[in-house]
Amino acid sequence: MVMRRVAIVGVGMTEFGEHWEMGFRELVAQAGLRAIEDAKLAGVKIDALYGGTMAAGRLIGQEHITALIADYMGLNPIPATRVEAACASGGVALRQGYMAVASGMHDIVVVGGAEKMTDVPVSDAAVALGGAGDQEWELFMGATFPALYALMARRHMYEYGTKEEELAQVAVKNHYNASKNKYAQFKSPVSLETVMGSKVIADPLKLFDCSPISDGAAAVVLAPMEMARQFTDTPVEIIASAQASDTLALSSRKSLTELRATKVAAKKAFELAHITPGDVDVCEVHDCFTIAEIMAIEDIGFFPKGKGGKATMDGETALNSTISINTSGGLKGCGHPVGATGVKQAVEITWQLRGEAGDRQVKNAEIGMTHNVGGSGATCVVHIMRRAD
Partner 1 sequence: MTGTGLALTWRRIPERYNLIGSRCENCGEAFFPVRTICPNCRRRGRIKREAFSGNGKIYSYTFVTSPPTGFELEAPYIMAVIELEEGAKVTAQLVDTDYEKVKIGAPVKMVFRKIQEEGKEGLIHYGFKFKVVD
Report DSSP state, residue 137. I
H or E element in which residue 243 lies = strand 236-245
x-or-dash pattern for partner 1, window 223-252, by CB under 8 A?
--------------------------xxxx
Does 306 engage in binding with partner 1 (CB under 8 A)? no
Kindly report the length of the chain: 389
Residues 6+ apart with CB under 8 A from 195: 168, 171, 172, 206, 208, 209
- Name the minimum Å distance from CB 143 to partner 1: 5
Q: How far is CA 220 from the centre of its chain?
A: 13
Which residue stretch of 124-132, 269-277, 291-299, 320-328 sits at the interface with partner 1 (rule: CB under 8 A)?
A: 124-132
Report DSSP state, residue 259. -
Beta-bridge partners for 245? 379
Does 212 engage in binding with partner 1 (CB under 8 A)? no
Binder of partner 1 out of 42, 77, 123, 363 (CB under 8 A): 123
Does 126 engage in binding with partner 1 (CB under 8 A)? yes
Does 142 engage in binding with partner 1 (CB under 8 A)? yes
- Name the minimum Å distance from CB 116 to partner 1: 18
Binder of partner 1 out of 152, 171, 357, 362 (CB under 8 A): 152
- Measured between alpha carbons, how far is residue 183 from residues 31, 154, 216, 321, 334 in Å? 11, 33, 10, 23, 7
**Which is the catalytic residue, given 106, 156, 336, 371?**
336
Tell me the DSSP string of 58-126: HHHS--SHHHHHHHHTT-TTS-EEEE-BTBTHHHHHHHHHHHHHHTTS-SSEEEEEEE--TTS-HHHHH
Does 150 engage in binding with partner 1 (CB under 8 A)? yes
- Name the minimum Å distance from CB 157 to partner 1: 10
Q: Mark whether 87 is an active-site residue.
A: yes
Using CB under 8 A as the criterion, which residues of the chain lie in contact with partner 1 when the complex forms?
Answer: 58, 123-124, 126-127, 130-131, 134-144, 146-147, 150-155, 158, 199-205, 249-253, 256
> Catalytic residue positions?
87, 336
